[in-house]
Amino acid sequence: MTAEWPGPRARSAVASRGLQLAVCEWGDVASASLVLVGAHGYLDCAEFFAPLAAALLRRRPDVALAAMSFAGHGRSSWADTYGWYDHTADLLAFTRAVSARAARATTIGMVGHSFGAVQVLQALQLEPGLAELVVNLDAVSEPPALNDGGLAGALAWLAARGGDARPLPGYDDLEAVAARRARSNPRLPAGLLRWLAPHLAREAGGRYWWRLDPALVGWVRPWQITGAPAADPLALTAALPHPVLTVTGAAADHPQIRGSYPGDGPIDSLPRGRHYRLPDAGHYVHLERPDAVAAAILDHAQQVSAGRAA
């Protein structure tokens, strides 16, 4: 633990669909006047919100951030299958549980990054009353497609392997885990990746293995499973009645983690939306520029509160 990236104040779990989903909390949910529910990106975990939570609490001690690791990620249970709406159901259950513990006059906001941001938008399509403000961290394009025939090709690949998903590699130490993650996230600080490594991997048999369920990696992605919506985050944003803050990083990043950036125009023209553009950040805006993102979120929360009062 470092002062810059503090461990959570509390760890717990929420039950959903027979699974136990790991929860990290920074700040006091029961007494905070602003409670933010965090939804991490694909293949990440709840601890990825530590830098943003620290930056928020430095500015407002009455803020709390509670983040859940999606099924198959971090310390959460592995599921039998991973469908798009399964993740949405889990996020809804988690948000309801957090809201039930918050003080009566608390403002509830939902903050999602990448895959998690699209899940936030999807969840609020189903239950718009769950939150009063929304923050989308760099989810502005449809996710990149698989190059092997989509779901049909993925299932054929899996069948040829006798139903076994691709095994994930092991590593000699956590330094090697951090180095591997750096290949996918070259813009993130090495120190932060080393801090995240024990949350991304666990030790067994003298080696370190990803905490991820192998079924999530390499053969199919959750947005390509039958029944998934057309996960266009801008269309989902436009359909919401909420004021949505969209934070984007304008710097170049690893091409496989973001998709095709649509440009600032479509984001700026969203109804009821606000766009905060960071020219010196990539896809992980909340990890590269946590102080700037925290300031934008708190300003957005203040404007939402002022709008309600008016």
> pLDDT tens-digit profile of 222-250?
555 544 555 789 999 999 999 999 999 99
Residue by residue, DSSP assigns 55-124 as HHHHH-TTEEEEEEPPTTSTTSPP-S---HHHHHHHHHHHHHHHHHHS-TT-EEEEEEETHHHHHHHHHH
pLDDT, one tens digit per residue, over 52-81 is: 999 999 999 999 999 999 999 999 999 987
DSSP sequence for 172-218: SSHHHHHHHHHHH-TTS-HHHHHHHHHHHEEEETTEEEESS-GGGSS
The contacts of residue 310 (CB under 8 Å, 6+ apart) are none
DSSP type of residue 273:
E
Token pair, residue 152, equals 């049909």
The CATH classification number of 10-143+221-309 equals: 3.40.50.1820
Task: Kindly report the backbone phi and psi dihedral angles of residue 274, in degrees, each rounded to the nearest multiple of 5, phi listed first.
Answer: -130, 140
Distance CA 23, CA 19 (A): 13
Q: Give the pTM.
A: 0.92
Q: Where are the domains of the chain?
A: 10-143+221-309
Q: Which two tokens stand for residue 233?
A: 């985050």
More confident residue, 140 or 259: 140
